[in-house]
Amino acid sequence: MNNRFSNSKKRTEVKTTLNYWNLIRSNLTIVLIISLVIFGVTLIYAMTAKDVYKSETVLRIKKSEGQNILDSPFPATFGNASTDRFIANQIEIMKNKTIREMVAQVLIDSFKNLQKTDDFNVILRQHSSLFSKQQPTLKSYKSLASTLLDKVEIKQKDGLDFVEIKVESSSPREAALVANVYADVYRKFNLQDSRKQITKVKDFLAEQKDEIQNELILAEDNVKAYQLQTGGAVLDQQATELVNTYANFESEKERVKIELSAAKTALNQYKSEMAKKDPTLTPYLEGQASEPTIKAIQEEITNIEIQKNRVMASGSGSNALIQQYNQKINRLKQKLNQAIAEYQSKALAASPTEIKKLGEKILEKQVKYQTLLSSYNQLNEVLKSYDQKFNALPKKALDLARLERKRKALEKLYLVLENKYQEALINEQSTPGNVLVMSPAEPAYSPAKPNRLLISILGLILGFGVAFGFVFFKDYFDKSVKTPDDIENLGLNVIAWIPKFKKNYKRDEIKNEIFVQGFNEVAAGEAYRSLRTRIQFSKLTDGAKTILVTSSAPQEGKTTVAANLAASFAQSGKKTLILDCDLRIPRIHAVFNGINSPGFTNYLFKQASFSEVIRKTPIENLYYIAAGTIPTNPSEILSSAQMKDFLQKLKQEYDVVILDSPPVMTITDAEILSHLVDISILVVFATTTQVDWLIESVDLMTKNGQKSFVGVVLNNFDYNTTGYRSYNKYNHTKYYHRAEETKQKEWSKV
């Protein structure tokens, strides 16, 4: 027994499907209440929740390709990332605070022109509550911008270059309005961003044009003033040709100077971007741009352009000659582009796509800058050579020539800048951007949510889930003994279980706790008879007569079990005695409506004779001995030699002697008696006795070599709610229902 019990405490109980089903059945009321409450709450929510409408607009966003829209040093926007990353960046831009505040401002301006907007809940701040109803107020643009972060969903569509902007609102008009405004604001922002390089060129040209225009006006005024002072002085043909030639070269120099400044600005911008990605690559690219091959081609292009300008300035060159110069220049430019491409492929072959494209731009702009710088230096040298011819003019003609040279140079430069400015203006307006609104948002006809049916179903599922979770959680932490399985899982023998029943108190109070005679519960009586039968086939066949009935703690029904067990033995024809050994709170005499004294303590102290302590019960063959006068030292009395002799005497006089003792965990009386009897039985109370108590009680009754312990009796077992195995067959058969009805009819006639 001890080895079996020790090993059983190490077992892990595995619940089967039947165990879970029984657990649910036993807590069916709680499960239903929790489930219905949660289902009711979700049902109310589903019925009262406001309708939410969803509108969406779809944008297509294309990557911008690097290109020159002007024959100038300023590039257009360029793409430098993969499509997925590019789209992800654009989505982050759309979610940025700046864009949201722009959208909020446009929404507020648009809202003021709308009517019937009471149902708006994105743009308006609702103040209504259960106790008061106030008019909604318009949100500030900062507050609205924060709201947009929650109300607007922006995501890429299936890995394509399409982006969806979805907006939810209780108003279908508001949802469509917000989605369309959001798309339009971003489209305009993207358009401005796509045109920023062209716009920068245009603004730069406009600034330079205005500045040159002011200088030109001043130069013209100076020429007029000088002519008035000198009486209408004019230049001869030779001086006029010299002035025209000089003016052409000077205007060309100023043009190159402007382009050189713009090229340097663009180059510095690209270098700044590269420094953030790979600081070591910029010096390397600068070195590549200064390669001898590239430098030689640049110088050759510059020399031919100077020759062409000289011929054009002198007026001696034919169109065929000018065309030959242009062809040479174009061939050299193609050769230069090929050389640049070769160096780009070598220098940037192993670089990531993003860095590679940026490096190509830097190398291209670096070469462009060096070419312009070479042209600027060559033009300076040309102008110095013409300065000698200028200084050779007569004093009077020299002053006028200088003024006229300045005027004509500014005039030519102004015309070049004006043409460039108009070209930039046209290109700016013709740049479409890379955002296209594929489908504008429309007000929805039906709400997107709540899905009331789905919420109700989920509420029902959640209700059962919470209810089952509560039951399992409660069961997990409930360490009480509830079913015979709980005892058997500990390796203990379940001798019998006594069903839970409601006591029927009748006129004969002696029989209130005796059920084996059929006065009360039939099922309980059958259980006690089963207990008697199993004990008979355990140790009684070996001559065992004394049976100890105890429990782990008070109020577990041990006295009732002892009394009914004794009655069942008496009913079987055995002369039976029940001895009340609970010398602290004796109760056997109360069961049979008798008195407590004299009892067996009085006999042991020789205060009463044996015949005086023996009392006959109304049940045939059943006798009892009360506890008697309660002593101050019960444990010592029970462990005395007189007690052993007394039990031997009882065994000689009676077929079965049943001892009712105090709880084994409370005091040592039951442990002492377990050494003196032939059979020990432990009574546990279902849903009350803790598993730890049961283990400790069995330990006390089996240690130190005790061999009397035979098993456990489970009292108050409610098989109707637990559904435990098939034990409810006793209570559910028609036979016992009929017997109970017949018995109640007979008692009602008494």
> Using one digit for the tens of pLDDT, what is the confidence trace for 130-158?
555 667 788 888 888 888 888 899 988 88
Main-chain dihedrals φ then ψ at residue 713, nearest 5 degrees: -110, 120
To the nearest whole percent, how much of the chain has pLDDT over 90?
23
Q: What is the pLDDT of residue 747?
A: 35
Mean pLDDT over 564-571 rounds to 92
* 34: confidence class by pLDDT, cuts 50, 70, 90: very high
pLDDT at 383: 72
- With cut-offs at 50, 70 and 90, classify the pLDDT of residue 462: very high
Whether residue 205 has pLDDT greater than 50 = yes
Quick check: 238 pLDDT over 70? no
Q: What is the pLDDT of residues 610-622, one digit of tens each?
A: 999 999 998 999 9
As a whole number, mean pLDDT of residues 236-242 equals 67
Structure tokens belonging to residue 38: 């949660």
Rounded to an integer, the average pLDDT of 615-635 is 92
Q: What is the pLDDT of residues 379-424, one digit of tens each?
A: 777 777 666 666 666 665 667 677 777 777 777 778 877 887 787 7
How far apart, in whole angstroms, are the C-alpha atoms of residue 180 and residue 203? Answer: 31
Q: Is the pLDDT confidence value at 476 over 70?
A: yes
Higher pLDDT residue, 92 or 646? 646
What is the predicted pLDDT for the residue at 505? 47
* Predicted pLDDT at 616: 94
More confident residue, 739 or 276: 276
pLDDT reading at 56 higher than 80: yes
Query: Mean pLDDT in the chain?
Result: 78
Better pLDDT: 278 or 597: 597
Rounded Cα distance between 708 and 701, Å, is 8
pLDDT band at 316 (very low <50, low <70, confident <90, very high): low
The more confident residue out of 324 and 676 is 676
Question: pLDDT-derived band of residue 124, with 50, 70 and 90 as boundaries?
Answer: confident
For residue 271, the model assigns a pLDDT of: 75
Q: Which pLDDT band holds residue 352 (cuts at 50, 70, 90)? A: low
Q: How confident is the model at residue 75 (pLDDT cuts 50, 70, 90)?
A: very low
| Most confident region among 64-73, 202-211, 548-557 by mean pLDDT | 548-557
User: How many Å apart are CA 242 and CA 123, to the nearest integer?
Assistant: 72
Q: Has residue 565 got a pLDDT over 90?
A: yes
Contact 622, 570 (CB under 8 A): yes
All structural domains of the chain, each given as residue ranges with its CATH number in brackets, are: 16-46+450-477 (no CATH), 53-195 (no CATH), 226-430 (no CATH), 484-749 (3.40.50.300)
Q: Tell me the C-alpha distance between 512 and 519, whole Å.
A: 8
With a threshold of 0.75, does the pTM exceed it? no
Q: Which two tokens stand for residue 288?
A: 């590549």
Strand partners, 658: 547, 578
**What's the token pair of residue 69?**
């829209």
Question: What pLDDT shows up at residue 247?
Answer: 74
Query: For position 370, what pLDDT does the model report?
Result: 77
**Buried-state track 346-374, b at ≥16 Cβ within 10 A, e below 16:** ebbeebeebbbbbbbbbbbbbbbbbbbbb
pLDDT at 304 (0 to 100): 77
User: Helix count (H) and strand count (E) of the chain?
Assistant: 28, 14
pLDDT reading at 49 higher than 50: yes
512 pLDDT more than 60 = yes
Closest CA to 462 of 454, 452, 451: 454
Burial classification of residue 151, based on how many CB atoms lie within 10 Å of its CB (0-12 exposed, 13-18 middle, 19 or more buried): middle
Percent of the chain with pLDDT over 70: 75
Q: Is the pLDDT of residue 270 over 90?
A: no
Torsion, CA 127, CA 129, CA 133, CA 138, rounded to 10 = 10
CA-to-CA separations, 309 to 257, 379, 644, in angstroms, rounded: 16, 10, 142
Q: Which two tokens stand for residue 168?
A: 């939810």
**What local confidence, expressed as pLDDT, does residue 735 receive?**
44
Burial of 174 (0-12, 13-18, 19+ CB in 10 A): buried
Contact indicator for 710, 548 with CB cutoff of 8 Å: no
Residue 167 has pLDDT above 50, yes or no: yes
**Percentages helix, strand, coil for the chain, rounded to the nearest 5?**
60, 10, 30
Whether residue 78 has pLDDT greater than 60: no
pLDDT of 522 > 60? The answer is: yes
Q: 370 vs 571, which has greater pLDDT?
A: 571
For residue 748, what pLDDT is reported?
Answer: 36
Average pLDDT (519-537) is 79
Its sign, for the CA torsion 9, 11, 13, 16, is negative
- Report, as an integer, the average pLDDT of 548-565: 93
pLDDT of residue 726: 46
pLDDT class of 38 with cuts at 50, 70, 90: very high
Question: What average pLDDT does this structure show over 320-324?
Answer: 75
